[in-house]
Amino acid sequence: MALLAIHHLDFKNQHLLLDKVRALTVSKRLLTLLTLHDPFLAARYRDHLVMMKNGRVHRHGATQSVVDTNTLESMYGMKVSVETSIDGNAFVVPTTDAGQSAIH
């Protein structure tokens, strides 16, 4: 068992570390449990998601069935948009009340 703190890492190194964890998980046929607070990272590095809210399971299942706008807005109490990248991975973008991206 290893505990990895990734939130102090920059964007590039978070992904490098999680890519390595995923590669080791596959090559060694391991079960890996990650606790992440970032919905983007959780959506990208997963086979199965368990989303917790107030200490209870809020949703669980395959990423496509769990990472959706309604679930994330309920989880985080804010407007979001779930988009799909070129490589087919989901990513989450916070939006304003008008539905526009909060990031320009």
Domain count, the chain: 1
Cα–Cα distances (Å) from 33 to 15, 48, 73, in that order, read 16, 10, 24
pLDDT-derived band at 43 (thresholds 50, 70, 90) equals: confident
pTM metric for this prediction: 0.72
**Residues 67, 69, 73: CA angle, nearest 5 degrees:** 105
Residue 39 lies in a domain: yes
Do 96 and 79 meet the contact criterion of CB atoms below 8 Å apart? yes
Residue 102 lies in a domain: no
What pLDDT is attached to residue 3? 63
SS3 of residue 15 by DSSP: helix
Q: Residue 83 is part of which domain span?
A: 11-94
Task: Give the range among 3-7, 28-32, 35-39, 54-58 with minimum mean pLDDT.
Answer: 3-7
Residue 1 lies in a domain: no
Residue 82 lies in a domain: yes
